[in-house]
Amino acid sequence: MAIKNYYLGCPGWGTKTWLGRLFPPGTRSTEFLEHYAKVFNTVEGNTTFYALPTPEIVARWRDQVPSEFRFCFKFPRTISHDKLLTDCEREVDEFLERIEPLGSLLGTLMLQLPPRCDGTQLAKLAGFLDALPRDFTYAVEPRHEELFAGGPADLELQALLRERKIDLVVMDTRGLHRTHSLVLADVRGRKPALPVIMRATANRPIVRCVPHEDFAESEPEAIAWAAQVAQWIAAGKRPYFFMHSPDDTLAPENAYAFHARLATQAPVGELPVWPAAPRQLSLI
């Protein structure tokens, strides 16, 4: 794997518009992951938020990636949103048992909290985290503004995560929300516009970045994140950085551009030569 000292990936690997660009023309959908893993060393696994894969699919995933690759799956929404972390032991066990065959290929498992999960829910969150098996690593993505405000709830969240060595997921949608494209109105409506605070509570901080549709317009965010990721690496952390685009079509190009920026500040290796058609966008 060409990437060093951090994990770089995109949201999923099955985006059909990557065919002929990230994936060679004629690549079958069952081969997408194999080709994706030749370039990136992690993936943001959103699929488990909506439904669990079959054991057969999990086994196929295991066989399609190198040993350095890491799957970062989300907890199912049934656990986080429908049951609000209550009376969901069966669902948690089913989720973990289903993905456990991936073994060392499993990266951090992400718990995305619903927007209504505010400071009054932190004791419940602590109890839920304490009940999880220690065989996995976890990260929490808050979505309520109270948990970004620097007040008691914010400080309590940070403290309970640090005590348990659980990471934070930071979602940066500033670039997306600066675009005024009517085509992207639905995407903007579905992505939260939350404060961006560059902070880590453990050794695997996670960033989910959704930039402007014209990635050059998000260069200020890319520069700032490159500096922060470089600092984390220098401090001995190994962060995850998941690069999106508004409809994810250009997420791979954006990831290449971000890596180029980061490579000027930290020893992160080199990405492979762009595998298919010429890249459409670049930061540099």
CA 64 centroid distance within chain: 20
pLDDT for res 269? 97
Q: Is the pLDDT of residue 260 over 70?
A: yes
Task: Copy the structure tokens of residue 33.
Answer: 């992951």
Per-residue pLDDT of 125-182, as tens digits, reads 999 999 999 999 999 999 999 999 899 999 999 999 999 999 999 999 897 767 766 6
For the chain, percent of residues with pLDDT exceeding 70: 92
> Residue 230 pairs with which residues in a beta bridge?
none
**Mean pLDDT on 51-80:** 97
pLDDT at 193: 74
Per-residue confidence (pLDDT) for residue 281, from 0 to 100: 46
Q: What is the pLDDT of residue 277?
A: 55
Q: Which residue has the tokens 């081969």?
A: 31
How much is the pLDDT for 42? 98
Alpha carbon distance 264, 255 (integer Å): 15
Say what the pLDDT of residue 148 is: 93
- Whether 275 shows a pLDDT value over 90: the answer reads no
Determine phi and psi for 201, rounding to 5 degrees: -115, -10
Architecture per CATH, 7-263? Alpha-Beta Barrel (3.20)
Give the model's pLDDT for residue 283: 41
pLDDT tens column, 186-195: 666 567 778 8
What pLDDT was estimated at residue 204?
Answer: 98
pTM summary value: 0.93
